[in-house]
Amino acid sequence: KELVRQCCAALHHNLQFQFNIDALPQHQAACIRSLSTLAGRMDGFRSAIEYIQDFIDIPGLMMWGEEVARIIGYNVEQEANKYLLKKVFDFESKYQTAAAPIPNYPRTESDPLCVNFMGRTVSTLLKMTDAQTTIFSRECSGWFLADGQEVCGFRTISLLRRAIGVCGLSGIDKLLSFRIMHELHRFVKFFKTTVKKQGVLLEQIRDGLFPEWRIPANDSIGFYASATKKNRDVDDACHDMSPTCWSSTTSAEDDP
């Protein structure tokens, strides 16, 4: 019971991030410090359990792994509720036990939309890897600013694994999957309500551009000006939708 309480407190207090898009390098450095502190705390807990297990004859490392997995699973489950129609409440959770209950903490002022530390971690990773401010390099397996400074890469993911373990990384993957599903549902709804109304106009533009590999023969500049003017409402709606939908979706798909 005390192990669960201490681990939950360490995860809650260390995984809080103050994000400022105008000071991304400083934010990244603060994230690294928070993850390093948490990794040290979790390593200390694990080492203490491993040290005393032989003296009091308990399966300490097995207990450690089971309890950390239970804490992560519970927080992923509660964070995923905002994407689900049928929600799993605290008293219904399969991860809660009367012998060693997992405590609930209030939402933080820095990220009030997130329920717990798992949501804050995913939110921060998405902000650090936002396609509008960073560039993903497949060769370097990381996200970089325009000046070449790394924002998120092997070091960040390695620290994250030390801090929340493999089950924590699996939980992040699960939350990212829920987020991708949510954003795609938003886009489908947007398409049905906004884009579909302009279906006839879009088909006319498509016919005028056919075949796509050839420049329109008759007054291509005038055709472009006319098409953009007629389609301005859809373009404006797409511009408003794109930053929130596609940026978060592509960043989530690229996350390791």
pTM to 2 decimal places: 0.79
pLDDT of residue 110: 83
| Residue 22 clears pLDDT 80, i.e. is over it | no
pLDDT tens digits for 144-202?
Answer: 988 888 888 888 999 999 999 999 999 999 999 999 888 888 888 877 777 777 777 77
Please report which helix (H) or strand (E) contains residue 70, including its range: helix 60-80
Burial, 234: exposed, middle or buried (Cβ in 10 Å; 0-12, 13-18, 19+)? middle
Please report which helix (H) or strand (E) contains residue 120, including its range: helix 117-128
pLDDT of residue 256: 46
pLDDT of residue 197: 72
Q: Name the residue with higher pLDDT: 251 or 121.
A: 121
pLDDT of residue 245: 52
- Do you know the residue count of the chain? 256
pLDDT of residue 111: 85
Sheet order of strands, 135-137 included? 135-137, 142-144, 150-152
Computed over every residue of the chain, the mean pLDDT equals 83
pLDDT of residue 246: 46
